[in-house]
Amino acid sequence: MAAAAATASASAEQHPHPLQGRVAIVTGSSRGIGRAIVLHLASLGAKVVVNYTANSAQADAVAAEINSSAPGSAIVVRADVSEPSHVKLLFDAAEAAFASPVHILVNSAAIADPTYSSLPDISVEDFDRIFSVNARGAFLCCREAANCLKRGGGGRIILLSSSLVGALKPTYGAYTASKAAVEMMTKILAKELKGTGITVNCVAPGPIATDLFFAGRSEEYVKNVIDACPMGRLGETEDVAPVVGFLATDASEGINGQVIRVNGGFV
């Protein structure tokens, strides 16, 4: 073990920026988990696309932080992942800005059920919107990435799901179903891309302390979630980003078609 640790340490010193020169698109990266991921990939040397749909100021602030201090660099692109033309724009903008094919896609963009309704009570409109962004968006991003990512090694597709897929909690039916679709696409696409050198994996966070988690939740609800977690706390975005970062590097080449739950043992 000591020898292995020493080897890993030496490797890190020789390659402090393992994503140097690689281009990464991170959807939904102006805030929350996506923001932590895009900052982490840039710290590993990646040239990144910060994607947003509504708040340009937040996205610009993330890009400015990267361009002022990280070894990587950033551009900002507005795009709705549920629209095919917008997804194509993301890839075209990345290739044009960095004069390189895209190496890494991280699809973090998602929305929650605005009412946390049970399946008998959720409106058709809310159901369709959840699936449009979470499932259709993942499909469109996967399809574009499968056709555009660099072949021959180093290509990475990393999708974000949710540990709710394993928990099967009431009132989360539509959201959970949309994320279950993401996990199934992950497993199947990994097989369909055999021979390309592109890996496809999924990271499924548990309860993470973000605006999306706290929206509409009572203090009592949050306390109950914390009490139920073996770690005794909510997850942080910094718990998720390094896992995604590892999956984006060459060190993860043997991991493919997997769903990795980052939840502190919550479910």
Q: Which residues are catalytic?
A: 175
Q: Please report which helix (H) or strand (E) contains residue 143, including its range.
A: helix 137-148
Helix orientation angle between 137-148 and 173-192, rounded to the nearest 10 degrees: 20
Residues 6+ apart with CB under 8 A from 194: none
User: What Å distances lie between residue 52 and 83, 93, 132, CA to CA?
Assistant: 13, 14, 16
- In whole angstroms, give the CA distance from residue 160 to residue 204: 6
Q: In residues, how long is the chain? A: 267
Contact (CB, 8 A) for 104 and 156: yes
CA 154 to chain centre: 17
Residues 6+ apart with CB under 8 A from 126: 113, 114, 115, 117, 174
Q: Please report which helix (H) or strand (E) contains residue 65, including its range.
A: helix 56-69
- In whole angstroms, give the CA distance from residue 166 to residue 180: 9
